[in-house]
Amino acid sequence: MSVRTKSWSPTSWREYPIQQLPEYPNSEELERCYQELQTLPPLVTSWEIESLKDKLANVSQGKGFLFQAGDCAESFDLTRSSKIVNLVKVLLQTSFIMIHEMGVPVYRVGRMAGQYAKPRSSAYETVNGEEIHNYRGDLINGFGATKEQRVPDPKRLLEGYHKAGLTLNFIRALGDEGFADLHYPEQWELDFMRNNPYHQEYEAMVKSITQAVKFMDAVSEKRQQQSQKVDFYTSHEALNLFYDSAQTRKVPRKEGYYNLSAHMVWLGNRTRDLNEAHVEYLRGIENPIGIKIGPPYTIDDTLRLIERINPKHESGKIVIITRFGKDRIQEELPSLIQAIRKEGFPVVWSSDPMHGNTFSSSNDYKTRNFDHIMDEVKHAFSIHRSEGSYLGSVHLELTGDDVTECVGGSKGLDESGLDLNYETFCDPRLNYEQSLELAFLISKEWKKSYG
Ligand code: PEP
Ligand code: CO
């Protein structure tokens, strides 16, 4: 397989064709914002990035689980305390369920503190007879459906950095206090599980987690939140390469360049052309990298992509995130697993059961069905199990808020309930209850395969 011979730099991608990034009308202002972003302090450190990579190397050997989840698109305006608290809380609780059920370490990576850029299927939309740019996430343009709002604005690169910094600062503080939540099982809001066949088992599990924490308190004579720090990592799609490359730097006493805007970044399904800018950028950084794989793709290109981004075959570096949809996964996943294994590439396998299962409801909402999501997860586990491969991660879109964006789950939300609280700026997310329920069911599937 060919390896690029041209030299790489944080800006070498600018010489390649690029998808999904509209031209900024004012290139001088773009350069000014870019340069300012380059001077600002990093959001994360290279040590944290290396530590996540080590953890992912364990996952690739079947010794842990990566739980990556959060909003489809974060919004600048919703950089608010309650929203962040709710999301951190649901990520913590879901991961505790997994740890309890699976008995292996679970590493939390939020789609948070930088998930502000979105790929779109069309560049323009027509509003009141006028063609305007499509919304591409707050990092690029405004959500409001007017021509002015939708003009790509480079100042948003700086606002994104500031909002990510504020979010991350609060996540880190909550991580120190994170265990507090475990002491109050009444905050686990279990009523919704009443209609679920697993209700009793679920309740027993929460009790047992609470007892374990109390026991630890008694033994250490300290409350857990004072003695334990909860690790949280951040991630986003490396889509707006101006944002990512301005924060890509060398650090003292280490080889290579780090994207210091997040611990992990991923390559979206629509920007993985081998000869284009996003792949060029990602081949040069040290961070763990997710690669979304779904139709249309070829196995051959996927192998070349992995080789291009991880030529040293570093363990813990590549997370293959499959998103085939419940109807295609059975036909697609086995041969992909076999081909990657044949090459000997050390990858973490992840299932994204969200992006291949989106549809329009009869009342015109973009939605997903809890059962379809669970179907893809079940297929993913059973295929990996029969291929002798380890499915070590799931990738979900969820929120800690009480939204009505996906149908199904124990509460039986149906299409007529979607307009109660439909808030997403992009794809539909699982709400708090659906997330907890799904985490529980995912853990059961994992246990069936590897427990
Ligand atoms: C996403 O993760 O929000 C996304 C756009 O996914 P994909 O690239 O898999 O379509
Ligand atoms: Co999405």
Convert the pLDDT of each residue in 31-66 to its tens digit.
999 999 999 999 999 999 999 999 999 999 999 999
Residue 225: predicted pLDDT: 47
293-322 average pLDDT score: 98
Top pLDDT among 376 and 191 is at: 376
Ligand 1 and 292: CB distance under 6 A: yes
Whole-number percent of the chain with pLDDT over 70: 92
Ligand 1 and 119: CB distance under 6 A: yes
Q: Which domains, from first to last, does the chain contain?
A: 12-180+229-450 (3.20.20.70)
Ligand 1 and 368: CB distance under 6 A: no
Of 34-38, 94-98, 122-126, the poorest mean pLDDT is in: 94-98
120-124 average pLDDT score: 94
Distance 233 CA to ligand 1 centre (A): 19
107-133 average pLDDT score: 96
Convert the pLDDT of each residue in 254-293 to its tens digit.
999 999 999 999 999 999 999 999 999 999 999 999 999 9
pLDDT above 90: residue 146: yes
Tell me which of 111, 282, 323 to substitute to probe ligand 1's pocket, judged by most ligand atoms within 8 Å of the beta carbon: 323
Ligand 1 and 323: CB distance under 6 A: yes
Distance 227 CA to ligand 2 centre (A): 36
Q: What is the pTM of this model?
A: 0.95
Nearest CA to 197 among 389, 440, 362, 432?
A: 440
Ligand 1 and 72: CB distance under 6 A: yes
| Confidence at 220, pLDDT banded by 50, 70, 90 | low
172-193 average pLDDT score: 66
**Interatomic CA distance for residues 407 and 431, integer angstroms:** 10
- The ligand 1 atom at the shortest distance from the C-alpha of residue 321 is 9
pLDDT above 80: residue 210: no
Tell me which of 355, 368, 394 to substitute to probe ligand 1's pocket, judged by most ligand atoms within 8 Å of the beta carbon: 355
- The ligand 1 atom at the shortest distance from the C-alpha of residue 73 is 3
Distance 159 CA to ligand 1 centre (A): 23
Ligand 1 and 355: CB distance under 6 A: yes
- The ligand 1 atom at the shortest distance from the C-alpha of residue 352 is 9
Residue 174: predicted pLDDT: 83
Residue 215: predicted pLDDT: 73
72-80 average pLDDT score: 97
